[in-house]
């Protein structure tokens, strides 16, 4: 049964609030407050002049926010009452570049005592204050206002070492992988940085493979990059074949034997691929052409094959702008040739050049995952170059950066992003 009561005015008898209804249907109004749209779930009056700087929202209003020039903080009303409502909309689809921080102003958001974040392109939210337990709740489908943000990651493994005398192939670059995932506040991200491959011992043997780099944590898809494969050394099978890995090591030719093949890249396989194959070795008949070896594979290209009197170059690495500037990493090591012929350069992105003679071999560049250069010389004299160590880089909106890290990590900023560069293992608490 429905009853209708018509009155001009309701006055409270005492206290600071007026309560309408019973225990399960009550609506409470503060003295002096103006309330309309009880229990409404979406109706606001929109302010059609876009906001470009920090401001405090008013209940009952919607705001278009323009973050083209930088992030904006929207502070929610203080001391809200049940039914208060605020809407926020991305004006130019730039929240993914410059996020909006939703200041809670003393009230909870989705039950959490923390500010919210809007970092998705074109995002729109409608927040209604419910009570002291849950605070402000988003009534739209995408309920990601609080504690969730995008974490970009670059994971590069350690590069493989080059093969040693008397002729060795270039080491393969460490596996190279990128990912963007959503994280929530309060969880720990674990970072592992792989070491570069060790030189062969005794000298004149296949270079060691690099170690794995990884990012893992609760609710994250674990990203693992495999170490680069070591470069081959002259001799019978399997020594003349490059080792498989994130990128494969270069192969080596040998008198009276089939030419050694480069190791396979993208091992184990992932999509998109984390690296490329190493180049094949070539036996050209010894003097005067020598024994040109293959270059190690890089993240962006295969290693070059030994051919004629020329060793194969290391494969080029891949470029990333995760730090705010374009940097190329994970280049393959260059191949070598003995006793004649030309040595080859390492691939762009830290690959070591191939060498010949009694001098030291060229290592892959540290914290690039570059492969070590192959070495050629009198048998048993000099090993190939060591692989370059890996690196893990995390990037997130500065508005969401917790400041809680451990391990070997450098912190920097670029625009609206905070960047964590791990050159050794550690953690980040979101």
* In a shared domain, residues 125 and 161: no
Of residues 273 and 26, which shows the higher confidence score?
273
Q: How many beta carbons lie within 10 A of that of residue 105, not counting itself?
A: 17
pLDDT at 26: 57
Q: Round to whole Å and give the CA distance between 136 and 298.
A: 50
Tell me the sheet residues that pair with 128: 85, 137
Of residues 399 and 266, which shows the higher confidence score?
266
Identify the domain containing residue 108 by its residue range: 39-140
* In a shared domain, residues 155 and 119: no
- Band (pLDDT 50/70/90 cuts) for residue 234 is confident
Residue 396 belongs to a domain: yes
Judge whether residue 347 has pLDDT over 80. Answer: yes
272 CB-contact burial (10 Å; exposed 0-12 / middle 13-18 / buried 19+): exposed
* In a shared domain, residues 283 and 429: yes
- Band (pLDDT 50/70/90 cuts) for residue 183 is confident
Per the structure, the count of domains in the chain is 2
* In a shared domain, residues 73 and 92: yes
- Band (pLDDT 50/70/90 cuts) for residue 53 is very high
pLDDT at 39: 42
Question: In angstroms, how far is the first alpha carbon of the chain from the final one?
Answer: 54
Q: Round to whole Å and give the CA distance between 85 and 108.
A: 14
* In a shared domain, residues 127 and 165: no
| Residue 430 DSSP label | -
* In a shared domain, residues 200 and 87: no
Q: How many beta carbons lie within 10 A of that of residue 316, not counting itself?
A: 24
Judge whether residue 14 has pLDDT over 80. Answer: no
Residue 2 belongs to a domain: no
- Band (pLDDT 50/70/90 cuts) for residue 194 is very high
* CB 429 within 8 Å of CB 407: no
Q: Which strands make up the sheet holding 116-118, listed edge to edge? A: 55-56, 72-75, 100-103, 116-118
pLDDT at 150: 86
Contacts of 359-363 with CB under 8 Å at 24 or more apart are: 360/385, 361/162, 361/164, 361/199, 361/385, 362/162, 362/333, 362/334, 363/196, 363/387, 363/388
> Which of 118, 140, 162 is the last residue before a domain boundary?
140
User: Which range has the worst mean pLDDT, 142-146, 172-176, 232-236?
Assistant: 142-146
Residue 30 belongs to a domain: no
Residue 29 belongs to a domain: no
Residue 14 belongs to a domain: no
* In a shared domain, residues 53 and 123: yes
Q: Round to whole Å and give the CA distance between 75 and 100.
A: 10
Query: Which tokens is 386 given?
Result: 């060591």
Q: Round to whole Å and give the CA distance between 287 and 283.
A: 10
* CB 149 within 8 Å of CB 182: yes
pLDDT at 316: 98
* In a shared domain, residues 300 and 181: yes
Q: What are 299-327's pLDDT values in tens digits?
A: 999 999 998 889 999 999 999 999 999 99
* CB 110 within 8 Å of CB 145: yes
Which range has highest mean pLDDT (15-24, 33-42, 100-109)? 100-109
pLDDT at 73: 92
Q: Round to whole Å and give the CA distance between 205 and 192.
A: 28
pLDDT at 21: 61
Residue 23 belongs to a domain: no
DSSP line for 287-355: TTTB-PPPPPP-SSSPPPPPBTTBPPPPPP-EEE-TTSS-EEE-PPPPP--SSSSB--PPPTTTPPPPE
Would you mind telling me the total number of residues written for the chain in this entry?
430
Judge whether residue 287 has pLDDT over 70. Answer: no
Residue 12 belongs to a domain: no
pLDDT at 323: 97
pLDDT at 166: 80
Q: What are 131-159's pLDDT values in tens digits?
A: 998 899 988 755 455 567 889 999 999 99
> Which of 106, 140, 174 is the last residue before a domain boundary?
140
* In a shared domain, residues 277 and 237: yes
Across the range 33-52, mean pLDDT stands at 69
> Which of 140, 175, 197 is the last residue before a domain boundary?
140
Which range has highest mean pLDDT (172-181, 283-292, 334-343)? 172-181
Residue 289 belongs to a domain: yes
Q: What CATH number does the domain containing 99 carry? A: 2.60.120.640
- Band (pLDDT 50/70/90 cuts) for residue 22 is low
* In a shared domain, residues 241 and 371: yes
* CB 314 within 8 Å of CB 345: yes
* In a shared domain, residues 81 and 136: yes
Q: What are 202-212's pLDDT values in tens digits?
A: 777 899 999 99
Residues in contact with 224: Cβ distance below 8 Å, sequence separation at least 6, in sequence order: 155, 175, 177, 212, 213, 214
* In a shared domain, residues 226 and 344: yes
């Amino acid at each position: 049964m429905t009853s209708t009561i018509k009155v001009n005015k309701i006055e409270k008898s005492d206290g600071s609030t007026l309560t309408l209804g019973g225990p399960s249907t009550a609506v409470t109004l503060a003295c002096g407050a103006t309330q309309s749209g009880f229990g409404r779930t979406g109706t606001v009056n929109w302010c059609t002049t876009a906001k470009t700087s920090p401001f405090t929202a008013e209940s009952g209003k919607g705001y278009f926010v323009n973050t083209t020039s930088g992030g904006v903080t929207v502070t929610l009303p203080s001391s809200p009452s049940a039914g208060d409502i605020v809407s926020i909309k991305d004006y130019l689809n730039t929240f993914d570049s410059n996020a909006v921080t939703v200041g809670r102003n003393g009230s909870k958001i989705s039950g959490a005592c923390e500010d919210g974040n809007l970092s998705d392109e074109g995002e729109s939210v409608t927040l209604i204050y419910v009570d002291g337990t849950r605070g402000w709740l988003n009534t739209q489908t995408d309920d990601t206002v609080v504690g969730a943000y995008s974490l970009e990651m670059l994971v590069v493994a350690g590069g493989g070492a080059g093969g040693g005398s008397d002729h060795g192939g270039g080491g393969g670059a460490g596996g190279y992988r990128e990912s963007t995932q959503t994280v929530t506040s309060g969880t720990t991200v674990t970072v592992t940085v792989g070491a570069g491959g060790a030189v062969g011992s005794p000298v004149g043997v296949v270079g060691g493979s690099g170690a794995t780099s990884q990012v893992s944590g609760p609710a994250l898809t674990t990203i693992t990059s495999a170490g680069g494969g070591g470069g081959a050394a002259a001799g019978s099978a399997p020594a003349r074949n490059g080792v498989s890995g994130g990128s494969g090591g270069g192969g080596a030719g040998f008198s009276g034997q089939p030419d050694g093949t480069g190791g396979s890249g993208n091992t184990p396989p992932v999509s998109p691929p984390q690296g490329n194959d190493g180049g094949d070795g070539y036996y050209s008949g010894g003097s005067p052409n020598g024994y040109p070896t293959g270059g190690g594979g890089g993240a962006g290209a295969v290693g070059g094959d030994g051919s004629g009197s020329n060793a194969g170059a290391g494969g080029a690495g891949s470029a990333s702008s995760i730090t705010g500037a374009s940097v190329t990493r994970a280049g393959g090591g260059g191949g070598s040739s003995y006793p004649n012929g030309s040595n080859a350069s390492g691939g762009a992105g830290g690959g070591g050049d191939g060498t010949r003679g009694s001098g030291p071999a060229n290592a892959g560049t540290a914290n690039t995952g570059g492969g070590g250069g192959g070495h050629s010389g009198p048998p048993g004299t000099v090993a190939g170059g060591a692989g370059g160590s890996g690196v893990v880089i995390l990037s997130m909106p500065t508005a969401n950066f917790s400041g809680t890290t451990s391990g070997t990590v450098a912190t920097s900023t670029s625009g609206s992003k905070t960047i964590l560069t791990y050159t050794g293992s550690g953690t980040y608490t979101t």
